[in-house]
Structure 1
Amino acid sequence: MAWLALGLSALSFLIATSVAILYAADRLSDDAPLESAESYSLYDAGLPAWGTVGLTTTGRASKGMVEGSVERALQGAVEDFGGSADDITGVRCKDLANVKQDSVASCSLMIQDYPGTAVLTFLDDNGSYLVTLY
């Protein structure tokens, strides 16, 4: 008799859990906007952008040139994603000692007036880079 009660209890639990999962899945799949959508960034972490920064004859780039190029590349990626270029402002990059293949720098910026981070990876020695927004 105890085994029967235990079995019925387990079955009831499984049915209740299944109903809850189906209900949650239905609620999450609605096309209705989030209740407080204004507080969420429109951009997923890992949004990539590619660009090239002009180098001097010695193979170096000024910090301002890199930051301006990164800001324009991210603004273009954001526009491609359906956002506004004005959402990305104030790019400031650190560790720009080398513009060589596989060198990495971190950049701080503002995304819709919230602080964000971008990781800059140089793809070659000619100033081509991949920047990823986080």
Structure 2
Amino acid sequence: MRSTTLQRILASIFLVLGTWCMLLPRMVEQLTIRPEHQVLTAASSVFIACFGAQAVLCGAVIWFAKFTPKTFLAFGLLGSIPFFAFNVYFYFVQPIFTKWMLLDFAGNVAILVCGLVGYRISHREHPLG
């Protein structure tokens, strides 16, 4: 596998989940937030759609950028570990999320794996990079 393939997979995670939030924010709120915490207003839809738009932007940048080994490592670690803490806190400590939010957790695992594996492959492809 080439590093560019992993880069496209990484971008796709952001593009798919971000597009879902952008186009169907009410569905995202209904599925991922426990009923007692849902507000289901136009404002909550705007916030979720904005979050999705940022993810789509991030996915587009990942898709078109030239990744170095350090870029893979940074995205792998910084694009997943803080979000693991976010998922754990709002699922176990302050339970706001439903089990559907495990999709986000799975996405974060994939981001971490793509970043770490991409780092190793990219380092072999570009040893000076």
Q: Tell me, yes or no, whether TM beats 0.5.
A: no
Larger radius of gyration: 1
Greater strand fraction, Structure 1 or Structure 2:
1
What is the TM-score of this pair, normalised by structure 1? Answer: 0.24
Per residue, is there more helix in 1 or in 2? 2
The structure with higher relative contact order (CA 8 Å, sep 6+) is: 2
- TM-score normalised by the chain length of structure 2: 0.24
